[in-house]
Chains A and B, each alone.
Chain A
Amino acid sequence: MQRTRATLSLAVIAAASVSLIGCSADDGGGDDTIRIVYQKTDAFVALDDLFTKVKPAFEEANPGITVELEPIVADEGDYATKLALMQQSPDTAPDVFYEDTFKVRSDVEAGYLLNLDEYLADWEDWSKFNEGAKEAGRADDGSVYAVPLGTDTRGIWYSKSVLESAGVAVPWEPKSWDEILDTARKVHAAEPDKVAFNVYAGKPAGEGSVMQGFGMLMYGTDDELYDADAKKWVTGSQGFIDSLAFIETLYGEGLAPAPDVALDGSMWQKLFGEWFPGGQIAGTIEGSWSPSFWMEGGQYAWPEYVDDIGVAAFPTQDGGGDGAVSLSGGWTLAVGANSGNPDAAFDFLAMALNQENSLQYNIANSQIAVRTDVAEDPAYLDANPFIGFFTDLVTYTHFRPATADYPEISAEIQAATEAVMTGQMTPEDAAAAYDEAVVGIVGEENVTG
Chain B
Amino acid sequence: MVAVSSPPIEGDRPTREDPNSRAGRRPPRAGRRSIARLLPIAPSIVLLALFMAGPVIWAVVISFTDTALTGRSAREPQWVGLDNYVDLVTDRDFPVSLLLTVVFVLGSAVIGQNLVGLGLALLMAKANRTVRAVVGTTVVAAWVLPEIVAAFAAYAYFADDGTLNQLLGAIGIDGANWLYDFPMLAVILANVWRGTAFSMLVYEAALNDVPPEITEAAVVDGASGAKRLWWVTIPMIRPSIATNLMLITLQTLAVFTLIWVMTKGGPGMASSTLPVFAYQEAFKFQQIGYGSAIAVVMIVVGAAFSIAYIRMLRPERRS
Instruction: Identify the A interface with B (CB < 8 A).
Output: 2, 5-6, 9-10, 12-13, 16, 77, 80-81, 84-85, 87-88, 103, 106-107, 109-112, 203-204, 259-260, 263, 265, 404-405, 407-408, 411, 418-419, 422, 424, 433, 440
Contact = CB atoms under 8 A, between A and B. Distances in A.
Interface of B: 39-44, 47, 68-72, 74-75, 87, 92, 160, 177, 179-180, 264, 266-268, 283-287
A324 B308 CA distance: 62
Given A16-B47, A260-B177, A103 B264 contact: no
25 contacts: A6-B40, A9-B40, A10-B43, A13-B43, A80-B286, A81-B69, A81-B283, A81-B286, A87-B69, A106-B70, A109-B75, A110-B68, A112-B70, A260-B180, A263-B180, A263-B267, A404-B71, A405-B71, A411-B284, A411-B285, A418-B267, A418-B268, A422-B268, A424-B267, A440-B87
A292 to B, nearest CB: 27
A155 to B, nearest CB: 28
Contacts of A204: 264, 266
Contacts of A424: 267-268
A260 B267 contact: yes
Nearest to A105: B71
A422 B68 CA distance: 30
Contact of A404 (B43, B72, B284, B285): B72
A231 B68 CA distance: 23
B72 to A, nearest CB: 4
Contact of B180 (A80, A111, A259): A259
A13 B75 CA distance: 35
A193 to B, nearest CB: 15
Contact of A12 (B43, B75, B180): B43
A110 B44 contact: no
Given A106-B71, A107-B70, A110-B74, 11 more contacts: A9-B41, A9-B44, A81-B69, A84-B286, A87-B69, A87-B74, A203-B284, A265-B264, A407-B286, A418-B267, A418-B268
B47 A84 contact: no
B282 to A, nearest CB: 9
Contacts of A81: 69, 283-284, 286
A203 B284 CA distance: 10
Nearest to B37: A2
B285 A111 contact: no
A403 to B, nearest CB: 10
Nearest to A337: B75
Contacts of A10: 43
B70 to A, nearest CB: 4
A375 to B, nearest CB: 32
A81 B71 CA distance: 13
A203 B93 CA distance: 15
A432 B92 CA distance: 12
Contacts of A109: 70-72, 74-75
B46 to A, nearest CB: 9
Nearest to B160: A260
A214 B284 CA distance: 19
A126 to B, nearest CB: 26
A433 B69 contact: no
A259 B47 CA distance: 47
A292 B68 CA distance: 35
A84 B180 contact: no
Contacts of B92: 433
Nearest to A5: B40
Given A106-B71, A422-B268, A12 B44 contact: yes
A106 B72 CA distance: 7
B33 to A, nearest CB: 12
Nearest to B68: A110
Contacts of A16: 47
B313 to A, nearest CB: 30
A2 B267 contact: no
B70 A263 contact: no
Contacts of A407: 70, 286
A263 B75 contact: no
Most-contacted residue by chain B among A16, A80, A109, A111 (CB, 10 A)? A109
A419 B268 contact: yes
Contacts of A404: 70-72
Contacts of A80: 286
Nearest to B93: A415
A111 B266 contact: no
Most-contacted residue by chain B among A10, A87, A408 (CB, 10 A)? A408
Contacts of A408: 285-287
A404 B72 CA distance: 8
Contact of B40 (A2, A77, A405): A2
B58 to A, nearest CB: 13
Contact of B267 (A6, A106, A259): A259
Most-contacted residue by chain B among A77, A259, A260, A404 (CB, 10 A)? A260
Most-contacted residue by chain B among A9, A107, A112, A419 (CB, 10 A)? A9
Nearest to A262: B267
A411 B71 CA distance: 15
A192 B284 CA distance: 36
Contacts of A5: 40
Contacts of A2: 40
A160 to B, nearest CB: 29
B95 to A, nearest CB: 14
B36 to A, nearest CB: 10
Q: Which 3 A-B pairs have the closest CB atoms?
A: A110-B74, A260-B180, A84-B69
Contacts of B41: 9
B40 A110 contact: no
B70 A111 contact: no
Contacts of B160: 260
A263 B266 contact: yes
A265 to B, nearest CB: 7
Most-contacted residue by chain B among A13, A16, A203 (CB, 10 A)? A203
Contacts of A85: 69
Contacts of A411: 284-285
A355 B179 CA distance: 49
A109 B87 CA distance: 23
A407 B68 CA distance: 12
A440 B44 CA distance: 44
Contacts of A13: 43
Contacts of B72: 109-110, 404
Nearest to A403: B71
